[in-house]
């Protein structure tokens, strides 16, 4: 397998993975359609827009030609927002080499179809032509790019695909586990963003650690309920793509979803909050998708429902908290299951 790595996208996560792989001595090329961004990164060896302060290897090349970036690449890493995944994939398919290892670093659910991104991939690419793995876990780009010890998970439908992604990405500070549960890893990585919005809203309202802990715990319960109903392994949600990613996204200063939630909790509108964060906040679309999935599968997701009402129906955040706190009395163990 050709060891050239192509990365599609030039945001913070794409840049962090590019830096990691370039530091391993691999040939890495990064695609972005934004000419000015590409020129600036190649000139300054720093992604000032998305990952300031991280100096990039001068061997790392950013390009606007997707064909050039993908030419001869044995590994392709998708790091585009989930809503752009299908379009970028369609654009990339003519240039992908049969047998290439595809690693998807996006975390989300396609809103129009409610498909997970692996479903989108195989619908467009067809079966059998490529190895496919999904990368998830608690891994903020700001820390990975600075060599801070991090553990993640790569899930794939075959051991060979998972091992190929693991071998490519593993370093002394970036530990990669494998998993066969693609569905669970994808759902955990997507749904935790909803709870992180809630954690931010709670902080913006002036609430404390008790509230955040309650949101995270009960949020994990409803994530697990939906995931298991959809066929995921429940153990996945106790792992890196579940509780691990949930913890970091709900508590970290690097979390876009948490930051957007804080602004909403302070009284700003959704659009105002998104403008302040000024980067993609995956949890907003995921909240709408998850609400529809919960209805489709008959799964109770009260936190997701209230966050949806705050985001899309202008429900005051304090009313959402009251609605959650005043629900009918429940047994905790029974409510974990349904």
Report the pLDDT value the prediction gives residue 314, as an integer from 0 to 100. Answer: 95
Q: Decide if 192 is catalytic.
A: yes
Report the pLDDT value the prediction gives residue 337, as an integer from 0 to 100. Answer: 61
Report the pLDDT value the prediction gives residue 239, as an integer from 0 to 100. Answer: 98
Which parts of the chain have pLDDT scores under 50?
none
Which structural domains are found in the chain, ordered by start? 5-180 (3.40.50.720), 183-337 (1.10.1040.10)
Q: What is the pTM of this model?
A: 0.95
CB of 22 within 8 A of CB of 43?
A: no
DSSP letters of 46-70?
EETTTEEEEEPPTT-EEES-HHHHH
Report the pLDDT value the prediction gives residue 334, as an integer from 0 to 100. Answer: 73
Structure token digits, residue 250? 């709900």
Q: Which of 4, 61, 192, 266 is the catalytic position?
A: 192
Report the pLDDT value the prediction gives residue 1, as an integer from 0 to 100. Answer: 53
Report the pLDDT value the prediction gives residue 251, as an integer from 0 to 100. Answer: 97
């Amino acid at each position: 397998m050709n060891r050239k790595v192509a990365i599609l996208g030039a945001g913070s996560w794409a840049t962090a993975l590019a830096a990691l792989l370039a530091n391993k001595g691999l040939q890495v090329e990064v695609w972005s359609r934004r000419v000015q961004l590409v020129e600036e990164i190649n000139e300054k060896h720093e992604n000032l827009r998305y990952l300031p302060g991280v100096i990039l290897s001068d061997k790392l090349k950013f390009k606007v030609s997707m064909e050039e970036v993908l030419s001869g690449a044995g590994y392709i890493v998708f790091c585009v927002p989930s809503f752009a995944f299908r379009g970028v994939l369609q654009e990339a398919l003519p240039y992908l080499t049969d047998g290439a290892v595809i690693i998807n670093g996006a975390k989300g659910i396609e809103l129009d179809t409610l498909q997970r991104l692996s479903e989108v991939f195989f619908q467009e690419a067809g079966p059998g032509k490529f190895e496919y793995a999904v990368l998830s876990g608690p891994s903020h780009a700001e820390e990975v790019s600075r060599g801070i010890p991090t553990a993640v998970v790569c899930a794939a439908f075959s051991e060979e695909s998972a091992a190929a992604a693991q071998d490519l990405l593993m370093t002394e500070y970036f530990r990669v586990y494998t998993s066969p549960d693609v569905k669970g890893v994808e759902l955990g990585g997507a749904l935790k963003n909803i709870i992180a919005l809630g954690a931010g809203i709670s902080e913006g309202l002036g609430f404390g650690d008790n509230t955040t802990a309650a949101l995270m715990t009960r949020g994990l319960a409803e994530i697990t309920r939906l995931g298991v109903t959809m066929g995921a392994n429940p153990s996945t949600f106790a792992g890196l793509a579940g509780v691990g990613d949930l913890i970091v996204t709900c508590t970290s200063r690097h979390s876009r979803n948490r930051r957007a939630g804080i602004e909403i909790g302070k009284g700003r509108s959704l659009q105002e909050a998104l403008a302040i964060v000024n980067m993609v906040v995956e949890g907003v679309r995921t909240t709408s998708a998850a609400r529809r999935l919960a209805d489709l599968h008959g799964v109770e997701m009260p936190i997701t429902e209230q966050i949806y009402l705050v985001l899309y129906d202008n429900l005051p955040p304090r009313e959402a908290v009251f609605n959650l706190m005043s629900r009918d009395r429940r047994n905790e163990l029974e409510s974990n299951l349904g």
